[in-house]
């Protein structure tokens, strides 16, 4: 178990509290295991009717996986093939699958930073999820910024966002707020931060079986209070540019647009890994035709190739270790990325019968 994950049961509700504030609740393997252990224990427990996952800090729900750990473990072995890295991603993705198909209401308080792996433990399936955002919510799948790709089921939930919003969010890695999260279908309810104490009281006092309905009633007065969605305002441009068919075509399309949105998007994309933007574009396209298990298995294959390639090691070095913000991407520019480079990330690593996530359905 992990010292950074606290669990309890009260009034028919299981509570999971992430408590690693100095690291913005970045997930370690021990934390993944602790969350999994609690959810599996409660899944068939008739005394638990709902689950709430939250943070002990208002700064962050969860900022993602522990990328410093990825860097250290990835560098410690040839081609980044650390057994600990392998275990982390296999068990994290299995947890994402467990959450997606959880048979009881699964309530995520996405207050503060919600990125990467944080999205994976918040984006439950439509049959169980209740996702709450506040004005402090800063949501993103920012992996292309560190030479990775949107994983933890990102190929599934991004590919199912309206229009080309998922492609835009994945390829650029931009951060969005509450109104945009609601518009993109990545959140269900909005509540102002100063009402969170009231919500917490509701969570503690309401019987688990009645919790989802109680939250909906609590959030009803705040409908529309999240403000206007920037994604909605730029939706036509996003669909046009990010429907161009490839990352080079997207960039070419953006260059024909002198709007502030297009120019800012170009500036952002110029800082991302050219290779992983192209891989992400392909990932989202493929994800649209796969179920949850298929998406997670595809992502698990990509992780192995990604660490062997080393792009993520360089990205984490530049962003977190040396903090020079000057990653030496390979290739350095989108024009040098060819289809062979992209497609090799999707080549099978294991035969189907030996895939680490072969048991997911």
Read off the pLDDT of residues 94-151 as tens digits, 9 standing for 90 and up: 999 999 999 999 999 999 999 999 999 999 888 889 999 999 999 999 999 999 999 9
Average pLDDT value for residue range 213-233: 96
CA distances from 263 to 71, 172, 187, 268, 273 (A): 32, 13, 28, 9, 18
Listed ranges 43-52, 60-69, 311-320; the one with the highest mean pLDDT: 43-52
Share of the chain above pLDDT 90, in %: 89
Q: What is the pLDDT of residue 165?
A: 98
Q: Of the residues 92, 111, 151, 180, which is catalytic?
A: 151
Task: Show the tokens assigned to 133.
Answer: 């955002």
Q: Of the residues 92, 143, 309, 314, which is catalytic?
A: 143
Task: Show the tokens assigned to 251.
Answer: 């960039």
What pLDDT digit, counting tens, does each position of 154-173 carry?
999 999 999 999 999 999 99
Lowest pLDDT segment from 24-28, 71-75, 250-254, 313-317: 71-75
β-sheet bridge partners, residue 132: 109, 189
Q: Sign of torsion, CA 345 348 350 354? A: positive
β-sheet bridge partners, residue 7: 16
DSSP character for 143? G
Q: Which residue has the tokens 């931009």?
A: 174
Q: Of the residues 117, 147, 153, 154, which is catalytic?
A: 117
More confident residue, 157 or 71: 157
Average pLDDT value for residue range 63-88: 78
**Would residue 206 be called left, alpha or beta, if left means φ above 0 and alpha means ψ between -120 and 50 degrees?**
beta
Average pLDDT value for residue range 261-288: 98
**Band (13; pLDDT cuts 50, 70, 90):** very high
Domain ranges for the chain: 5-354
Residue 52 exposed, middle or buried by CB count within 10 Å (0-12, 13-18, 19+): buried
Cα 226 from Cα 219, distance rounded (Å): 11
Q: What is the pLDDT of residue 79?
A: 55
Q: Rg of the Cα trace of the chain?
A: 20
Third-level CATH fold of 5-354: 2-enoyl-CoA Hydratase; Chain A, domain 1 (3.90.226)
65 is catalytic: yes
Cα 275 from Cα 340, distance rounded (Å): 11
pTM of the complete model beyond 0.85 = yes
117 is catalytic: yes
DSSP character for 151? -
Average pLDDT value for residue range 305-312: 90
Contact 208, 47 (CB under 8 A): no
Lowest pLDDT segment from 63-77, 208-222, 246-260, 337-351: 63-77
**Band (73; pLDDT cuts 50, 70, 90):** confident
Cα 155 from Cα 279, distance rounded (Å): 11
- The length of the chain in residues reads 361
Element spanning 296, H or E: helix 292-309
Q: Of the residues 14, 65, 154, 166, which is catalytic?
A: 65
β-sheet bridge partners, residue 139: 114, 176
DSSP character for 351? -
pLDDT at 75 over 80: no
Cis (ω within 30 of 0) for the bond into 190? no
Cα 3 from Cα 73, distance rounded (Å): 21
Q: Sign of torsion, CA 216 217 218 224? A: positive
β-sheet bridge partners, residue 130: 107
Q: What is the pLDDT of residue 128?
A: 87
Share of the chain above pLDDT 70, in %: 98
């Amino acid at each position: 178990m992990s010292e950074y994950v606290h669990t309890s049961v009260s009034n028919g509700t299981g509570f999971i509290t992430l408590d690693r504030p100095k690291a913005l609740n970045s997930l370690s393997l021990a934390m993944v295991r602790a969350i999994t252990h609690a959810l599996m224990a409660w899944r068939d427990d008739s005394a638990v009717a709902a689950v709430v996952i939250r943070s002990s800090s208002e700064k962050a729900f969860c900022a993602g996986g522990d990328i410093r750990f990825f860097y250290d473990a990835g560098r410690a072995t040839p081609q980044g093939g650390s057994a600990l890295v392998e275990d982390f991603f296999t068990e994290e993705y299995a947890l994402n699958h467990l959450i997606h198909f959880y048979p009881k209401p699964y309530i995520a308080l996405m207050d503060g930073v919600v990125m990467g792996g944080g999205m994976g433990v918040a984006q439950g399936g439509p049959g169980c999820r209740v996702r709450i955002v506040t004005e402090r919510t800063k949501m993103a799948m920012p992996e292309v910024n560190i030479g990775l790709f949107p994983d933890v089921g990102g190929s599934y939930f991004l590919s199912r966002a309206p229009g080309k919003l998922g492609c835009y969010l994945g390829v650029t890695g931009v951060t969005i707020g509450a109104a945009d999260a609601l518009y993109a279908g990545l959140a269900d309810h909005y509540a102002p931060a100063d009402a969170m104490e009231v919500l917490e009281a509701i969570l503690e006092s309401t019987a688990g079986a009645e919790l989802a309905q109680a939250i909906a009633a609590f959030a009803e007065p705040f409908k529309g209070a999240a403000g206007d969605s920037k994604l909605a305002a730029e939706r036509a441009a996003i669909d046009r540019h990010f429907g161009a068919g490839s990352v080079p075509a997207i960039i070419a399309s953006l260059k024909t647009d002198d709007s502030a949105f297009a120019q800012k998007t170009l500036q952002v994309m110029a800082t991302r890994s050219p290779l992983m933007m192209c891989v992400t574009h392909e990932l989202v396209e493929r994800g649209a035709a796969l179920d949850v298990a298929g998406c997670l298995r595809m992502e698990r294959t990509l992780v192995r190739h990604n660490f062997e390639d080393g792009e993520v090691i360089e990205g984490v070095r530049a962003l977190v270790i040396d903090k020079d913000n000057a990653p030496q991407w390979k290739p350095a520019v989108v024009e040098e990325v060819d289809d062979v480079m992209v497609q090799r990330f999707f080549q099978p690593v294991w035969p189907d019968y030996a895939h680490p996530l072969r048991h997911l359905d």
